[in-house]
């Protein structure tokens, strides 16, 4: 039986990297969500043409993170393809406004929209995926967070410079831990992908005086997949880790 992986936000960046990495594994069905506006994006075309391993295949569905109904509709499409369980869901889709807005200038609109995209959207995705996760033998849920989502690390990394994004990811962290405590059958973790060479990652790196972000997308994804593969309910679930498998403070 194929391992079924659902990844939100696969049109580019880390989500795209995850999709390619899991398609490279034999006997994997990769379900990737994209926004309707990204249907013809270069990253989506790359995924469609990607040489999947033996027995592996790609299914694309449409989810806009600001839509409360898209996740449920997407899961109906998944079921219509005969998929009856989900082994792994990676809530990757999210985003930060660029340039980032500090605490004293951030608007209510930016706060609300960014919270919707990075916290409410993943929660709606979890609610939609939960019945199919329950049907898997060893299901896992992963929230892609950020170091800025750690309240404890705020003073060290100056996350208030990107107030809306960091606050929304802190909310995502809370929701992730709540999913752990309310679903004892599920392995749940939040992951910090590190400063990765995506468009936002490289922008932040330059703001910090770096030429480019620290990790390639492939390095970030590879590190996180090792953490995901080893994750168990007893030792990892309900915690926050980085791509080096180091536990981070909430």
Residue range 180-196, pLDDT digits in tens: 999 999 999 999 998 77
Q: Token pair of 249, please?
A: 């403070």
Q: What is the pLDDT of residue 65?
A: 86
The domain limits of the chain are 3-242
Catalytic member of 22, 115, 140, 169: 169
pTM: 0.94
Picking from 76, 167, 60, the residue whose alpha carbon sits closest to that of residue 117 is 167
Please give the distance of CA 245 from its chain centroid, rounded to a whole number: 17
Catalytic member of 165, 206, 215, 230: 165
The arrangement of strands across the sheet holding 187-192 comes to 57-62, 28-34, 3-8, 88-91, 140-144, 187-192, 239-242
206 catalytic, yes or no?
A: no
Domain 3-242: assigned CATH number = 3.40.50.720
Residue range 72-123, pLDDT digits in tens: 999 999 999 999 999 999 999 998 888 888 899 999 999 999 999 999 999 9
DSSP letters spanning 28-51 = EEEEEEE-GGGTT-HHHHHHHH--
Q: Rounded CA gap, 98 and 91, in Å?
A: 21
Q: Token pair of 139, please?
A: 């299901």
115 catalytic, yes or no?
A: no
């Amino acid at each position: 039986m194929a391992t079924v992986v659902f990844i939100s936000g696969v049109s580019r960046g880390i989500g795209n990297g995850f999709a390619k990495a899991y398609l490279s594994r034999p006997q994997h069905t990769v379900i990737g969500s994209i926004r309707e506006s990204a249907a013809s994006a270069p990253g989506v075309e790359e995924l469609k043409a990607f040489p999947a391993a033996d027995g592996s295949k790609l299914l694309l569905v449409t989810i806009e993170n600001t839509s409360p109904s898209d996740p449920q509709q997407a899961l109906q499409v998944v079921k219509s393809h005969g998929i009856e369980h989900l082994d792994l869901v990676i809530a990757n889709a999210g985003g930060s406004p660029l340039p980032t807005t500090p605490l004293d200038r951030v608007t209510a609109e930016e706060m609300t929209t960014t919270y919707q995209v990075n916290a409410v959207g993943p929660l709606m995705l979890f609610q939609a995926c939960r019945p199919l996760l329950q049907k898997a033998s060893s299901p896992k849920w992963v929230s892609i967070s950020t170091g800025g989502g750690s309240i404890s690390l705020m003073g060290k990394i100056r996350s208030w410079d990107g107030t809306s994004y960091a606050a929304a990811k802190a909310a995502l962290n809370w929701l992730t831990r709540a999913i752990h405590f309310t679903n004892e059958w599920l392995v749940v973790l939040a992951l910090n992908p590190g400063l990765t060479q995506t468009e936002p990652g490289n922008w932040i790196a330059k703001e910090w005086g770096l030429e480019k972000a620290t990790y390639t997308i492939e390095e970030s994804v590879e590190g996180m997949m090792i953490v995901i593969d080893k994750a168990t309910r007893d030792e990892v679930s309900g915690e926050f880790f980085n791509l080096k498998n180091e536990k981070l403070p909430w």
